[in-house]
Amino acid sequence: MSTLAGISDWQTEFKRSKVPFSISSDAFLSKCHTLICNDQRISLELGIQLFNHNNLSGIFALANLIKNSRYGNYVYFNENLHVNTTNICVLACRFCAFRKGPRHSEAYSLNVKEYLEQIKPFANRIDEVHSVGGLHPEWTIEHYEELYRESKKSFPNIMIKSLTAVEIKHIANRSELSIEDTLIRLSDAGLDSLPGGGAEILVDSVRNRICHGKESSDEYLNIHKIAHNLDISTNCTMLFGTVETLEERAIHLDKLRMLQDETNGFQCFVPYPFLPDKSRLPEAQLASLNEILRVIAISRIMLDNIPHIKAYRMNLGSKVASLALLAGADDIDGTVNHEEIMHEAGSMARLDTDSDELSRLIESVDSIPIKRNTLYTEFSRYQRKLNDHSRRLPISHQP
């Protein structure tokens, strides 16, 4: 049955969908297709093969077939705002262009009033604040409790998606609390969900090279597991194109789906490539456009138990993000309005994209924009308010 939330029995839909020639003419992809038809998982070994397989259009077709079986031509987005709490951080991850030392001239820490003031101008057109920041050397849990309580008091309709796993670990350590007690207190104060940032690659030898001192792979997964067990939904992410191998990308996906088998608490997977400059991680093996889309597609194929795959526009830019919607992604983030982490790293993604423009972007790949809430529990078909005066050649409108 199909609803705005998608198709409840997507496997049946998948089995009866016509198999594109780019799959049926390829022995390896046909094998993957048959496995999925038989309700079997694409194993880690097959996932590694997918990362090395040269039939890219066939991989996109398989991912897109799964996406269409789950959601038809719906693409989800939300109306949100990013607010970063502080750029001061006690760590110095090698890929990070955002963090500053406490004495840096551009270092900042928002107090509660300043935080609320950042939300206020957008409050009547968003329903989510996405809020992460550095590991502040002085803040303890009381600061975040006050932040969330006051936000809920001022903006009761706005959901708070906030804190990466390492921020939670840092707050717990600074406040001498367990991870569980930290999450319970933050949730009681108004935290609704976790955005999932900081997963990077869940292989410790990679983490030691790019983000030494951050939480280990097991700690990242365990913090999310504790959140899921407390009924706090989370997203999960992957930063690729640094020093990892193709095999390690597949291992990362495998670890996420194993936790999801246990907890079913991940809503959405958000993969994004490292954005380089001349100073950070000069040895990074940067992801090409093909690789970016391949990661999106293989995520869709391997992550059979994580419902949504996001095209993260703030990192990819609108044009690549729209291509990702043809390679298995079903969700695009968001109106955003303000963003620092990716823009400090060199992103040129526009920040003034409103819902009308976002829906136009979704329609440009022959999809239907569906507005969702943070927790993917409320959906509505988005109707553009303005007439579309932009001109396109007829091919843009072909089904």
Query: Which stretches of the chain bind ligand SF4, using CB under 6 A?
Result: 89, 91-93, 96, 98-99, 134-135, 166, 211, 214
Q: Minimum CB separation from ligand SF4 for residue 142, in Å? A: 21
Q: Minimum CB separation from ligand SF4 for residue 195, in Å? A: 12
Q: Minimum CB separation from ligand SF4 for residue 265, in Å? A: 22
- Asked if the bond preceding 334 is cis, omega within 30° of 0, the reply is yes
Q: Among residues 29 and 132, whose Cβ is nearest to ligand SF4?
A: 132
131 strand-pairing partners: 162
Tokens representing residue 90 in the block: 């006690």
Tokens representing residue 242 in the block: 């640094």
Contact 280, 95 (CB under 8 A): yes
CA distance 59 to 51: 10
Q: Among residues 98 and 155, whose Cβ is nearest to ligand SF4?
A: 98
CA distance 365 to 340: 28
Q: Among residues 92 and 351, whose Cβ is nearest to ligand SF4?
A: 92
Q: Minimum CB separation from ligand SF4 for residue 102, in Å? A: 12
Q: Minimum CB separation from ligand SF4 for residue 90, in Å? A: 7
Q: Among residues 6 and 197, whose Cβ is nearest to ligand SF4?
A: 197
75 strand-pairing partners: 369
**Of 259, 267, 286, nearest in space to 346 by CA:** 286
Q: Among residues 166 and 268, whose Cβ is nearest to ligand SF4?
A: 166
Q: Minimum CB separation from ligand SF4 for residue 275, in Å? A: 13
Contact 303, 36 (CB under 8 A): no
Q: Among residues 77 and 144, whose Cβ is nearest to ligand SF4?
A: 144
Q: Among residues 174 and 372, whose Cβ is nearest to ligand SF4?
A: 174
**Of 246, 225, 249, nearest in space to 237 by CA:** 249
Tokens representing residue 79 in the block: 């109306």
Q: Minimum CB separation from ligand SF4 for residue 41, in Å? A: 32
Backbone phi and psi for residue 160, each to the nearest 5 degrees, phi listed first: -110, 110
CA distance 357 to 384: 9
CA distance 129 to 339: 11
Contact 23, 29 (CB under 8 A): yes
Q: Minimum CB separation from ligand SF4 for residue 271, in Å? A: 16
* Pairing, β 74-77 against β 368-372: parallel
To the nearest 10°, report the CA torsion of 339, 342, 348, 349: -60
Q: Among residues 198 and 265, whose Cβ is nearest to ligand SF4?
A: 198
